């Protein structure tokens, strides 16, 4: 079996109250996706693999400058106190992140997938998008 890289970081936080966790904090808060998503890019996702849909198209993570700009924007929004919870969209996609946020808070979530948007609605919910929040 090949080796697996595991990275952990420990450190002191000046103010633990400023740590952003993934669970919902209050009913009525809006959910916003930061970064672009591609509902067609399901290939290689856990969801697509479950249904035997191994394709040849993964999500395009774009170039390093774009990713750095996204991280800078996220950091600026955090410093301005513009969001109270958040999570990276990784394996399992947006739907898993919403489940985790609801489970951790005891609050529910209502999601409306715009049927006029191009692409697969399941791709929006289950797509695994690198550097999207």
Residue 9 confidence (pLDDT): 85
Residues in the chain: 133
Phi, psi of 85 (to 5 degrees): -150, 160
Examine the pLDDT at 24 and tell me if it is beyond 90.
yes
Q: What is the pLDDT of residue 56?
A: 57
* Domain ranges across the chain: 20-126
pTM for the full model? 0.76
Q: Regarding predicted confidence, which is higher, 114 or 27?
A: 27
């Amino acid at each position: 079996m090949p080796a697996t890289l595991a990275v952990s970081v420990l450190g002191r936080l000046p103010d633990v109250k400023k740590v952003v966790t993934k669970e919902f904090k209050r009913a009525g808060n809006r959910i916003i996706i930061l970064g672009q998503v591609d509902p067609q890019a399901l290939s290689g996702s856990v969801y697509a693999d479950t249904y035997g849909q191994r394709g040849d198209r993964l999500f395009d993570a774009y170039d390093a400058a774009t990713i750095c700009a996204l991280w800078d924007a996220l950091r600026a929004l955090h410093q301005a106190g513009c969001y109270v919870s958040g999570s990276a969209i990784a394996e399992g996609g947006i739907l898993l992140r919403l489940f985790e946020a609801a489970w951790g808070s005891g609050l529910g979530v209502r999601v409306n997938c715009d049927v006029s948007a191009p692409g697969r609605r399941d791709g929006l919910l289950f797509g695994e998008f690198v550097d999207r929040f």
